[in-house]
């Protein structure tokens, strides 16, 4: 009985693990998308290129990941029309942190 309960618990735990990873991945993609949208609206093409490159080289190339990134980019771009653009250095620092988070979530499989 204890073995069956342990096996059930372990299988439930393992089946929940991808959900947590997907949520972390979505949050990381949203964060970098928000920075990308702000950089687009604030005419910072180097940061836009860097953000897109980070997503293209780090995250799995799935439709869902692309949509999360693009939706966050679009929302941030539209919201930036009502706000003052941050300094390029501030955006670069935020992008650096977002890139590290993205790399931590989507570690390369070896």
Name the H helices within 1-110.
2-41, 45-58, 63-80, 88-105
Asked whether residue 6 carries a pLDDT value surpassing 80, the answer given is no
**Rounded CA gap, 39 and 52, in Å?**
11
Distance CA 29, CA 19 (A): 15
Taking residues 54-83, report their average pLDDT: 94
Which percentage of the chain shows pLDDT scores above 90?
A: 72
pTM of the model: 0.76
**pLDDT over threshold 50, residue 18:** no
Average pLDDT for residues 9-25, to the nearest whole number? 51
Look at residues 47, 33, 27 and name the one whose alpha carbon lies nearest to residue 93.
Answer: 47
Predicted local distance difference test score (pLDDT) of residue 14: 41
Contact assessment for residue 35 and residue 95, using Cβ atoms and an 8 Å cutoff: yes
């Amino acid at each position: 009985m204890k073995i069956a309960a342990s096996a059930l618990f372990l299988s439930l735990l393992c089946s929940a693990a991808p959900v947590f990873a997907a949520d972390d991945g979505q949050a990381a993609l949203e964060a970098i998308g928000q920075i990308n949208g702000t950089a687009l609206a604030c005419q910072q093409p180097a940061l836009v290129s860097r953000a897109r490159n980070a997503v293209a080289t780090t995250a799995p190339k799935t439709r869902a990941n692309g949509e999360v990134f693009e939706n966050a980019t679009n929302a941030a771009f539209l919201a930036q029309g009502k706000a003052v653009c941050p300094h390029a250095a501030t955006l670069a620092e935020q992008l650096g942190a977002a890139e590290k988070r993205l790399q931590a979530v989507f570690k390369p499989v070896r």
